[in-house]
Amino acid sequence: MCHNNLEIDFGDSINFITGQNGSGKSAILTALCLAFGSRARGTQRANTMKDFIKTGCSYALIHVEIKNHGEDSFKPETYGRAIIVERRISESASSIILKNHQGKKVASRREDLFELVEHFNIDVENPCVIMSQDKSREFLHSGNDRDKFKFFFKATLLQQVEDLLKGIETHIGNADSLIDELEKLISPILRELQELQAKIKSMEHIEEISLQVEVLRKKLAWSWVYNVDTQLQEKSELIKKLQGRIPLCQSRIDQCLKRIDELNEQITKKKAQIAALMEKTLEFRSKKDDLKHNISLATKDKLGLEEDYGRKINYIQKLEKRQKLLDKQIHDTQEQHIRNTQAEELEMQEKLKQLEEAVDEAHVVFQRLRTEEDALQENVARAKDEFNNVVCQIEENAKKLSGIRCHIRELQLNQSSKVTAFGGSKVIRLLELIERRCERFRRPPIGPIGSHVTLVHAEKWGLAVENAIGRLLNSFIVTDLKDSLVLKACARDANYDYLQIIIYDFSIPRLNIPGHMLPDTNHPTTLSVLHCDHPTVNNVLIDMGNAERQVLVRDYEAGKMVAFEQAISNLKEVYTSDGYKMFSRGSVQTILPPMKNGRSGRLCGSFDSDIESLEKDASYFQDLDEKSKSVKRKLEEELRSLNENMQSVKRRRIDAERDLQSKDFRLQDAKKSNFAVTSTTNTSSDELLQEESKIVDEIQEERKLLEQIQLRVNEAETKRNHFKMLLENICESAKVDIDALENAEGELMKIDKYLDA
């Protein structure tokens, strides 16, 4: 458990093992317990056997030699002067082997080991044989005699004897109850046995009767044999008579077979004839179906054409009626025109002139108001855009001002305590918890790493170093896994989520990197611009952060040359002072831009200049915010006045539009009435004459179409009659074949019946 391999030779008398805590004293006692058959939980050191395997190994082996001398020796003829017990523990199982003094395998069963242990009285679970640390603590800390008596009771095996006696007493009680139950179960069986004995006596009498029955059956069988012999004589005489009729029957069978062959030949001929007739019938049916389909199509065409013919006749009649009605309207219009007077026409024209002038005046007013409204809408939209721009500028200035003030507070906090730059107030709470719980740590944790390093030329390389090792600056270093778990618990109590913990051996001295393992360049590395007094922090930056292989350059072009063109050995990454990261993996070259909101001042020694610069920026943005707010107020007043003017102009424009529409409606009504009085007679008569001429032309065209439809109807009727004639001819020609097919099928049925007979 503590050592890869440990061998101990015990003396013949008492053996004392001393050592510091955790040096492996209890491991020797645990190995002896496991060798003599104890389970993992019985050692109170592990839950499973595989927990005893040392980390990094695949198995554990325990080898114990027991002297086997004198009168109390165990099977000396088998094992000899020594007994070897080996227990091998693997990830999946454990095995026990017993060997003799020569190392030959004798047994491997657990029962053999128990027999050996019982012989030598090595009860590893008895505290008088092996007292573990927990049992010792329990014995020493027990304050009353009752607990000590319990311990004595168990150690002297009296507890085991008492348990065995109680178990035996329980078994005896169970056996007595079982005997009582069995006796109760046997009593009905005894009664059944007596009844069976009575039945056996009656069965013996029945057996005598059955023997008599058997004798009578034998006599009956011989009587049946006599009757059968008489019947056999009669049947043999009948067989002799029938044998004389066999030649006559054979001749009749031969005649029937010849007739069957003839009928089979006739059936094959009839089937061939029927197949030929069926082919002709199928051809006839297909032709018949085609002709029926053509006849139905021709009939549909004829009916459709007849419907078109009827519709055309009805349409022509309607046109003729329309022509007569137009003649009458033309005559009435001409008479109305004669009755109209000239004075009415002059009065109507004067009225139309006045209405047109009023409409023109209303239209001028409407156009002027609409132009004024459009101009005001443009001004309002322009003012809204300016107002929105000012609002956006105010919000942006407020965000920048808030960010600057937050940065100032952070720098002021960092100035008061350098530790807060690497985790804020959470890291302060964490450090307080670590200090209160320092006794739980094997070695006090180191962190955050950023508080143990300082940067040379911080104003020049601050952003580059932050990009290179920024993820490690908030980390803590512990010496082993146990301290890591304690630190995680402290971080949870301090509400410090996602704390990065690095496990590193504090005993390793400061690493000195040889010159041939450093990048071959004149540019500084991350490690060269950092000053660190703590060797463990320096080692972590090298082993975990590769700080000795990260090169820092001035600008973008110099970074590209160092990263991709000069082929520098031992180079991992290149960082520029303005935040670019460059590296190549094989043939792939990668350039990452600066991170947004990148921080560069956490490693500075003094923050006064940064705070003063940020305060100037804050005052500038505050003045800019006041100016923007005054401009916003002016724009709000201007926008409010423009909206009021636009609403007033809009109401006047709506009133002018309504007035224009009413005057325009009166003008249109007057024009319509004048048109009905004056121009209706002139224009309507001409239109009616034109319409009448169109109707006459349409009637002539429709009659031509009617003649064409009649011709198509005649053609369809002729086509339909032609298909009917073809169908009748085919039916007459196929009638003979159909009759022949029916006759052949009838003859075939007769032949089949005769053949079956």
Residue in 362, 245, 376 with CA at minimum distance from that of residue 649: 376
Q: What is the pLDDT of residue 485?
A: 93
Stretch 689-705: mean pLDDT:
77
Percent of the chain surpassing pLDDT 70: 90
Would you state the structure tokens that stand for residue 262, as one six-digit string? 């003839």
CB 461 within 8 A of CB 577: yes
Q: What is the pLDDT of residue 235?
A: 85
Tens of pLDDT, residues 60-117: 999 999 998 888 899 889 899 999 999 999 988 889 999 998 889 989 888 888 888 8
Would you state the structure tokens that stand for residue 18, as one six-digit string? 């001393």
State how far the Cα of 500 lies from the Cα of 469, in Å rounded to an integer.
Answer: 13
- Asked if residue 501 has pLDDT above 60, the reply is yes
- Max mean pLDDT among 91-105, 145-159, 336-350, 601-615 falls in 91-105
- Asked if residue 162 has pLDDT above 90, the reply is no
Under the banding of pLDDT at 50, 70 and 90, the label for residue 415 is: low
Q: Which H helix or E strand runs over 530? A: strand 530-532
Under the banding of pLDDT at 50, 70 and 90, the label for residue 743 is: confident
Q: What is the pLDDT of residue 306?
A: 78
Tens of pLDDT, residues 393-406: 888 888 888 877 77
Q: What is the pLDDT of residue 341?
A: 52
One-letter amino acid at 328 equals K
Q: What is the pLDDT of residue 260?
A: 82
Tell me phi and psi for residue 578, to 5 degrees. -100, 10
State how far the Cα of 398 lies from the Cα of 395, in Å rounded to an integer.
Answer: 5
Among 81-90, 350-359, 438-447, the least confident range: 350-359
Q: What is the pLDDT of residue 99?
A: 92
The DSSP bridge partners found for residue 476 are 501
Residue in 722, 270, 276, 299 with CA at minimum distance from that of residue 284: 276
Cβ count near 750 (within 10 Å): 12
The DSSP bridge partners found for residue 231 are none
Q: What is the pLDDT of residue 488?
A: 93
Q: What is the pLDDT of residue 305?
A: 76
- Asked if residue 123 has pLDDT above 60, the reply is yes
Q: What is the pLDDT of residue 51?
A: 85
- Asked if residue 601 has pLDDT above 70, the reply is no
Q: What is the pLDDT of residue 675?
A: 59
Under the banding of pLDDT at 50, 70 and 90, the label for residue 596 is: low
Stretch 149-170: mean pLDDT:
81
- Asked if residue 142 has pLDDT above 70, the reply is no
- Asked if residue 562 has pLDDT above 80, the reply is yes
State how far the Cα of 266 lies from the Cα of 261, in Å rounded to an integer.
Answer: 9
State how far the Cα of 60 lies from the Cα of 88, in Å rounded to an integer.
Answer: 6
Would you state the structure tokens that stand for residue 400, as one six-digit string? 């920048």
Residue in 433, 452, 434 with CA at minimum distance from that of residue 444: 434
Q: What is the pLDDT of residue 369?
A: 82
CB 549 within 8 A of CB 572: yes
Stretch 695-720: mean pLDDT:
80
Q: What is the pLDDT of residue 539?
A: 92
Tell me phi and psi for residue 520, to 5 degrees. -85, 80
DSSP annotation of 420: G
Q: What is the pLDDT of residue 345?
A: 64
Q: What is the pLDDT of residue 614?
A: 73
Percent of the chain surpassing pLDDT 90: 11
Angle between helices 481-493 and 424-436 (to 10 degrees): 120
Tens of pLDDT, residues 238-297: 888 888 788 887 888 888 888 888 878 887 887 787 777 777 777 777 777 777 778 878
Tens of pLDDT, residues 649-692: 888 888 887 887 777 777 677 767 665 555 555 556 667 677 77
Residue in 592, 548, 589 with CA at minimum distance from that of residue 571: 548
Stretch 578-595: mean pLDDT:
86
Stretch 314-336: mean pLDDT:
73
Residue written as token pair 């085609």: 290
Contacts of residue 738, defined as CB under 8 A and 6 or more positions apart, other chains included, come to 281
Tens of pLDDT, residues 374-383: 888 888 888 8
Instruction: Calculate the CA dihedral of residues 462, 463, 467, 470 and round it to 10 degrees.
Output: 50
Would you state the structure tokens that stand for residue 11, as one six-digit string? 């003396």
Stretch 12-28: mean pLDDT:
86
Q: What is the pLDDT of residue 396?
A: 85
Stretch 195-223: mean pLDDT:
86
Q: What is the pLDDT of residue 490?
A: 93
pLDDT, mean over the chain: 81
